[in-house]
Amino acid sequence: MRPAILHPPSSWFLRLLAIAALALPLAAPAQEKKPVPAPGALRGDADQPTDKDEAEAYAQLAILARAMQLVRQDYVDGKKVSYRELTYHALRGMLAALDPHSQFMEPEGFKEMQDDTRSRYDGLGLVVAMREGSLIVVTAIDGGPAAKGGILNGDLIVKIDGKPTDKLGLSEAVALLRGKPRDNVALTIMRPATREVKEVTLTRTEVKVETVKDARIIATEPNNGGFKIGYMRLVQFNEPSAEELGKKLDELAKQGMNAFILDLRNNPGGLLSSAVDVAGQFVAPGTMVCYTDGRAPSANRIYRTAAGSKPRLDFPMAVLINNGSASGSEIVAGALKDLNRAVLVGERTFGKGSVQSVIPLPDNSAVRLTTAKYYTPGRQVIHERGIEPNLRVVTTPEQERALALRRNAESTTEEQKKEADAVRDPQLDRALDALKGVLIFRQQFAAKKP
């Protein structure tokens, strides 16, 4: 057998890679530069690039170039070794190795991501993330196929159409979950709380996201003060969320609301600007809601409520959270907790508090790169830690199922509705008790005033 001859990569190829890596500036989204509290204090700053770093970069690029040339020259299947395919494979691996949220997006995936903040889209109504190598359901959106199919937050997706997810990256898994409307998707689900494994077949459909739901007054019994406590669920943070929330709050105020419960359970987040505006409904104008801290100065920002906002400051407030509350929900909950504006009731949140900057590439693909982390006003890091409630109340699998049935009442049977109504919501009950205690104390304090 003739030994393989390993040819060094041509000089033009090395030169091209070196120029691309060292000479072209990185594009970054334009951001307002503001100082942040103690920048770098919680993450540690890396040294600035030096001439030695540039020399090392050229040496490593030479290794990459050699490997690419060898694959193109000697790999058995010549149809799989185009420069585009090899480059895309290398980018996927490089970004996936950094953290679960950094990823390379091909042009099609980048376009889909740009559509994600609409109030409707085609899919299964699932928000997923990678945690410790497992594909976990952050939220099954109300009214979507997944929620109607009985999938709960915290469930693990073991297989998608028979393909094991433990060998997939997040972007690959999302690509399998998405697809044409009215097509079926077979999922194998494992529920950690019960170790139950089941097969679920869902049909992709248009999912319309109504961000504000179930606005109502919960009246207490006369012997418990006869209070009127407002309640509202915020499903996601989209462009109209803060405005819709404000209108509903005004309606509840006209009905005599004495206190308010904001339900952020299973809210996966959304637009940061919307989360800041929602917090602005409850705290003074110009108040810091969160800040970001990263390596680049452009990643360090303070996010404040709008100067012209008209907050509602005159009622006690509770916020319901659980491990399906992520991203924007954690920012709002963390801010209201640190600012002593609300008591948090429920379970620790998911812990997704990092900033991903999306940087387009020349061929309409993009790099989604983690560039900073979010911190609460009290300098608490959110990422991988979550927000702890003031009052910890854990729900059972039975209670979780009942809550999901109540939230998707339009797709449940009469028997299921009766079953759900017979199960208490302990987190809501605890929040009501906490607010009643505050209101009774206020009454007694006011009565003692001369």
Mapping DSSP to helix (H, G, I), strand (E, B) and coil, where does residue 108 land? helix
Residue 60 clears pLDDT 70, i.e. is over it: yes
Contact predicate 286/309, CB 8 Å: no
- Segment among 348-352, 379-383, 397-401, 413-417 with least mean pLDDT: 413-417
pLDDT at 142 over 80: no
Q: What share of the chain is helix, strand, coil (3-state, %, to 5)?
A: 35, 25, 40
With beta carbons less than 8 A apart as the criterion, state whether 122 and 181 touch.
Answer: yes
Q: Which residues are catalytic?
A: 327, 338, 352
Q: Counting Cβ atoms within 10 Å, is residue 416 exposed (0-12), middle (13-18) or buried (19+)?
A: middle
Please tell me the least confidently modeled range out of 258-267, 385-394, 438-447: 438-447
Residues 258 and 141 in one domain: no
Q: What is the per-residue pLDDT for 394? A: 96
The predicted-structure confidence for 82-105, as pLDDT tens digits, reads as follows 999 999 999 999 998 898 888 898
The reply to whether 157 and 253 lie within a common domain is no
CA distance 374 to 2: 58
392 and 269 co-located in one domain: yes
- Residue 114 falls within a domain, yes or no? no
Q: What is the mean pLDDT of the segment spanning 197-211?
A: 85
Residue 110 lies in a domain: no
**Average pLDDT value for residue range 134-159:** 87
How would DSSP label each residue in 396-413? PHHHHHHHHHHHTGGGS-
The reply to whether 390 and 377 lie within a common domain is yes
- pLDDT classification of 8: cutoffs 50, 70, 90: very low
User: Given a cut of 50, is residue 28 above it in pLDDT?
Assistant: no
| 108: amino acid identity, one letter | E
* Collapsed DSSP state (helix, strand, coil) of residue 139: strand
- Distance, C-alpha 299 to centroid of its chain: 19
pLDDT > 90 fraction of the chain, expressed in percent and rounded: 50
In this predicted structure, the answer to whether residue 41 has a pLDDT above a threshold of 70 is no
pLDDT of residue 183: 87
Same domain, 150 and 92: no
Q: In this predicted structure, what is the pLDDT of residue 108?
A: 79
Q: For 116, phi and psi rounded to 5 degrees?
A: -70, -25
Per the prediction, the chain carries an average pLDDT of 84
Which contiguous run of DSSP H or E holds residue 432? helix 426-448
Last residue of a domain, one of 159, 190, 208: 208
In a domain, 297, yes or no: yes
Give the distance from CA 202 to its chain's centroid. 23
Q: Name the token pair of 439.
A: 């209101």
| Average pLDDT of span 216-221 | 88
Range 147-163 average pLDDT:
89
The pLDDT of residue 6 is: 43
Looking at the structure, do residues 312 and 404 belong to the same domain, yes or no? yes
Verify that 437 and 309 share a domain, yes or no: yes
The pLDDT value recorded for residue 170 is 79
What pLDDT, in 10s, does the model give residues 358-398?
Answer: 899 999 999 999 999 999 999 999 999 999 999 999 999 88
18 — pLDDT class (breaks 50, 70, 90): very low
Specify the pLDDT at position 210. Answer: 77
Whichever domain contains 145, its CATH number is 2.30.42.10
**Does one domain contain both 297 and 198?**
no
Confidence of residue 54 (pLDDT cuts 50, 70, 90): confident
The last residue of one of the domains, among 155, 178, 208, is: 208
Q: Is the pLDDT of residue 24 over 50?
A: no
Q: What pLDDT is stored for residue 114 in this prediction?
A: 66
pLDDT per residue as tens digits for the range 230-253 = 999 999 998 889 999 999 999 999
63 and 181 in a single domain? The answer is no
Whether residue 248 contacts residue 301, with contact meaning beta carbons closer than 8 Å, is answered with: no
Query: Quick check: is 18 in a domain?
Result: no
80 inside domain: no
| Helical pair 272-279 and 328-338, crossing angle rounded to 10 deg | 30
DSSP class of 79:
G
Do 347 and 390 belong to one domain? Answer: yes
Q: For residue 394, give both structure tokens.
A: 């854990």
In a domain, 45, yes or no: no
Domain count, the chain: 3
Q: Is the residue at 440 inside a domain? A: yes
Is there a single domain that holds both residue 224 and residue 195? no
**Six token digits for residue 83:** 């420069």
Task: Establish if 26 belongs to a structural domain.
Answer: no
Among 53-57, 124-128, 317-321, 380-384, the range with the most confident prediction by mean pLDDT is 317-321
Kindly indicate the confidence band of residue 122, based on its pLDDT and cuts at 50, 70 and 90: low
- H-state helical runs in 352-425: 397-407, 414-421
Distances in Å between the alpha carbon of 24 and those of 20, 200, 205, 360? 6, 48, 42, 14
Domain that holds residue 154: 120-208
The pLDDT score that the predictor gives to residue 234 is 96
> What is the pTM for the complete model shown?
0.75
Claim to verify: residue 201 and residue 218 sit in the same structural domain: no
